[in-house]
């Protein structure tokens, strides 16, 4: 019975995000669609004219990185990040919550470093006027997105942790879970 209540609490914590995860899904789908469109257009033009669009590699690389970070935000919001659960699933409810919070701390530390060093890199590129090698665009317009979306990953991770703790506390108050798993 305890595991059933924990699963309900876990599901409730995932479902009640204040900002719907459709935002991340939409941004990821747009980025993927643009990558496909750009690449397909480049293939057609190269096949027909023996000429290649110069911007495709630069934009596709940016969109792929953007999509990856948006995917990390989506994974944090819905608690679908990569994990090995063979041991965690055998722990009592308190142990599972502890592991979830440990994951939150590790995620926060890692993405905080991306925020700090990413903003530092983007600032340096802005100050020094670095341009991209292919098209000559300012590099900071590509670089600034990683730390900005990393802030969203951190906030989504904290939001999930808050919802999980509230749901766990509510479950314990309603029926008093017994940690015998």
Torsion angles phi and psi, residue 138, rounded to 5:
-60, 130
pLDDT at 181 over 50: no
- Give the chain's radius of gyration (CA, Å): 21
At 21 the pLDDT is: 80
Instruction: Give the model's pLDDT for residue 2.
Output: 52
Q: Distance between CA 141 and CA 125 in Å, rounded?
A: 9
Q: State the helix-helix crossing angle for 2-15 and 145-175, rounded to 10 degrees.
A: 140
CA triplet 11, 12, 15: central angle to 5 degrees? Answer: 85
Res 4: pLDDT: 47
Lowest mean pLDDT of 37-41, 53-57, 93-97, 108-112, name the range: 53-57
**Mean per-residue pLDDT for 117-134?**
94
**pLDDT grade, residue 173 (50/70/90)?**
confident
Question: In this predicted model, what pLDDT tens digit does every residue of 23-42 receive, in sequence order?
Answer: 889 999 999 999 999 989 88
Q: What band does 85 get if pLDDT is binned at 50, 70 and 90? A: confident
Per-residue DSSP letters for 92-114? -HHHHHHHHHHHHHHHHHHHHHH
């Amino acid at each position: 019975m305890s595991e059933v209540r924990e699963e309900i609490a876990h599901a409730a914590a995932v479902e009640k995000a204040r900002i719907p995860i459709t935002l991340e899904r939409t941004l990821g789908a747009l980025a993927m669609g643009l990558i496909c469109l750009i690449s397909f257009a480049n293939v057609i033009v190269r096949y027909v004219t023996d000429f290649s669009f110069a911007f495709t590699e630069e934009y596709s690389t940016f969109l792929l990185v953007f999509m990856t970070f948006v995917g990390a935000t989506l994974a944090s919001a819905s608690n679908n990040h990569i994990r090995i659960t063979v041991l965690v699933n055998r722990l009592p409810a308190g142990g599972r919550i502890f592991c979830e919070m440990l994951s939150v701390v590790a995620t926060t530390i890692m993405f905080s470093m991306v925020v700090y060093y990413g903003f530092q890199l983007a600032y340096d590129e802005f100050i020094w006027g670095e341009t991209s090698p292919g098209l000559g665009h300012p590099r900071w317009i590509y670089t600034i997105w990683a730390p900005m979306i990393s802030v969203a990953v951190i906030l989504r991770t904290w939001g999930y942790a808050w919802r999980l703790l509230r749901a766990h506390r509510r479950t314990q108050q309603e029926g008093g879970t017994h940690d015998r798993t």
